[in-house]
Structure 1
């Protein structure tokens, strides 16, 4: 695993915008004025390193599914601060095995030691367009003879075929509250993969979903029935909405994507549950819900935090804090495992899983200790 310099393509901004990454200019520049998409550097991996990351990703995915079963069987919902009225619907969603589509594991890896799980984005992961489309075109333009760990597009199409009835329509929802446009872009891209699978699709804002009380069904602005919904809107927000009870009731007939049971995987209490179930596992870090215990250095992560907000890193010499409004629901305390340092830059590897298979890699890079919403996305390739 190496970090290498690269010349930016002429008119690279127009190129990536033409390929779909229109929101990149809306993201505030990060450290040292770096753009969100930064192709002045890239990471090169060997094939054995990629094969190891693939194995780790699928192992972690299997462990997470076991963790869902563990939490439901032992009724550990309180650890996740999940309201009582949701316990039985979650159990039923898991019992039905409501179909899941995708997720992204954030890993710490330096090419030498064991990859360590930092967290799992299991409900509404983003940076999909960058990982699937933009960096692939970069590779084809700049390093056409090299390969890349990237089968995201093809596997998404196959997964839609696997979890959908032929010809079944799907609505794709995002929220207008995300002003940069990233959520709308990711929802639109996901809609494109479903359309390539031959499924009828419609895009809408979640704020535009209506309820037809006479027909007792959700509808779009045209009055069309919403049978299946892909929602780039997290369950922990949705269950606080006025229509939450109606949405939960609909899951028994037409479960939305991602399914309700993924509330147990998109919550960082998962990190403590995994450590309870697999203590000492080489790809996990010690994590606890009742405090840092005997951890000499630790990261306090809000159970429902996003993009690094409200995270606190406590070391003997210093404490580093990221501003934010999360944490009211509680924290998990995970051992602090420093990101590898490549010439002052620290990468987090976003390892994607589609269905039950590993599918590709996206890398976010920062000069600090915490990866946030302005951290740059940099491409990668396989060079040997």
Structure 2
């Protein structure tokens, strides 16, 4: 038990029944069963829903020997949507908040970097592969994380038909892994933009000596013309209210015969809220698009040349990140406490379950302008 104490209070019947729908027993014997060490967890769940459930885990009030399987079962059973009372009101407020306000305005653009990407490069260097790709790897012919990420970077460049001397704009360049790959192996001249101070600093170091420039700016500030555009794992921070300006900006920046590759997480259905725990602790103001939302905003803006889904590869990627992070924890714990450790584990396990349940997808779209004269032929690595 997390605090060396066993739960003494009888669990509320409503929670017993809800967890039973997911095949989970409170204080049961299965690896995915929830072991309660603090009875406060019941009130947390009933009043705060998924937010309280995650907060209780961070505080060590409950544990699971197979947390990813626990979360998978809860997602498959839709437990969060079956809570009543204050928890249901919180979900309703989340919907209203995302629909009524522009949570991803230019004034708010840097908030996610301050809350997540700037926590410390040491965490990401320990968790990610040598390319420092913080997005889904491509595992079809890969046996380890570094291979999956290198294969993904190369697949992107090939889908873009990237040629030596072309100007490539990367919207949301992370720590420079794709920019370096495109410059080093395809001879591209790259401009990468990020809203993270820490990402910019490390990306500039990692791309030193290459025809790569890394700028700290919001995508709405960009100007110029580029042969190719790419955005990997950034669109989740754009928000539905900003989809039109995002794609209008991309169209303005892309040359007539250019190509734009968009790599984004997608939700299996349209939703107007983000999980409250993820939004509060991991990705403030984040929002995952649905296929319908993307298709709607792309109409009359871009031609969809290719739509590639490999969402289940994200499950493997996230579990590999968890193994790396857990292995590196002894060298990180002097800077981060156990609440952070449990928060990070909960984050990675929740996300792995999201993709394993197939609620989460991973899409790569290749887009072009209607005026493009060249035919595009879709490709997949053989």
* TM, length-normalised to structure 2: 0.29
Bigger radius of gyration, 1 or 2? 2
Query: RCO (CA 8 Å, sep 6+): is it higher in 1 or 2?
Result: 1
Greater helix content: 2
Greater strand content: 1
